[in-house]
Amino acid sequence: MLLNVEKARKVFGGLVAVNDVTFQVPEKTIISVIGPNGAGKTTFFNMITGIYQPTSGVINFDGKSLIGLRPDEVTTKGIARTFQNIRLFGAMTTLENVLVGRHSRAKTSYLDAILHNSTYKADERAGLLRAKELLEFVGLLDKRDELAANLPYGEQRRLEIARALATNPKLILLDEPTAGMNPQETEATKHLIRRLRDDQGITVVLIEHDMRVVMTISDNVTVLDYGTKIAEGLPHEVRNNPQVIEAYLGRGAAAGEFGKTAEGGEAA
């Protein structure tokens, strides 16, 4: 197992956001994590990447525990991620965003940078080459000098993937990579995610709301609801699981019919 999570739990005050979730990711697979809004999916990612420390539980990556590591240390271990609300470095160019991703892999020290010595030059050249490759991979090479903040939405999402790849991950966590994309962009992103695994040998875990994406690219699907894992299995198994249907449709139907006014009343 590349990633092995056992009984991970995260409590915010009185709220159990992630409730003793056990989750395993074999190497070179694409695993989807799905669940209704507020199910704890993003919190689960944040625990793996060290943004939150789990209240209890075990998280092992490549046989070593990630508990207590800072996010940058987790990245150095080989886990990269993208964010649900895009978090690019807006004032930097597309290419620079990718170069930042190489931070932990580059060797230039403070002194090297000032002296412009051979370490610096080799490092910069290697960085540029890798960045160029990655921008080509996500189809953004011709936008390399554009400021990240000025890219259209779909391209920003792809840039986040390129930036994450620049950290040379073994495992990449994608938080809703197709959110806000049109059908063509979604299709292209699906293709991209497959190539991550097939061409680059990277293991992918993604949170996704678009069921067409989930059903077609996942090797395995895990379903969270109110922080608890309620199902796990092959895409078609999960799709026909009554508990999953209830988690989605049951609440959806309730929200659609009589929940609407109740929710509206609550919000106001």
Partner 1 sequence: MKHTASLPDRSMLLIASTIISGIIAYVMILQKNNIESYFVTPVVMFFCFNLYFASAWNVSRVAKIVAFVGVLFIGIPMIGFTNSLYLQVAVTICIFAAMSLGLNVVVGFAGLLDLGYAAFFAVGAYLWAIFGGTQANEFIAGNLFPLNGNLVFIFIPIALFVAAGVGALLGLPVLKVKGDYLAIITLGLGEVIRVLANNLNKPINITNGSQGVRIAPNPETSPLAFITVPLSEATGIPFFQMQLTMYYVLVLLVVLAVVIFTSRLDNSRIGRAWVAMREDEVAAQAMGIPLVRTKLIAFATGASFAGAMGVLYAAVIGFINPNDFNFERSTQILAMVVLGGLGSIPGVIFGAAIVVSLNQLVLVEISRVIGLLNLPPRFDPTQYQQLIYGVILISMMIVRPKGLIPAKRNPAKLENLEHGELAKGVK
Nearest distance from residue 45's CB to ligand ATP, in Å? 8
By CB under 8 A, residue 183 contacts partner 1: no
Half-sphere exposure at residue 129, Cβ-oriented, CA atoms within 13 angstroms: 7
Q: What is the DSSP string of 186-202?
A: HHHHHHHHHHHHHTT--
Q: Which does 267 bind (CB under 5 to 8 A by kind): ligand ATP, Mg ion, partner 1, none?
A: none
Write the binding mask 82 to 111 for partner 1: x where contact by CB under 8 A, - elsewhere: -x---xxxxxxx-xx--xxxxxxxx-x-x-
The interface with partner 1 within residues 199-258 (CB under 8 A) comprises none
Please, are residues 232 and 223 in contact by the beta-carbon 8 Å criterion? yes
Task: By CB under 6 A, tell whether 252 contacts ligand ATP.
Answer: no
Could you tell me where the DSSP H helices lie in 61-182?
A: 71-77, 94-101, 110-115, 118-138, 153-165
Cα 162 to Cα 133: distance, rounded to the nearest angstrom: 9
Q: x/- contact string, 63-82, with partner 1 (CB under 8 A)?
A: -------xxxx-xx---xx-
Q: Is the dihedral of CA 139, 141, 143, 148 positive or negative?
A: positive
CB of 74 to partner 1, least distance (A): 8
Question: Does the footprint of partner 1 cover residue 267 (CB under 8 A)?
Answer: no
Cβ 45 to partner 1, closest distance in Å? 10
Provide the token pair at 111: 């002194």
Q: Which does 35 bind (CB under 5 to 8 A by kind): partner 1, Mg ion, ligand ATP, none?
A: ligand ATP
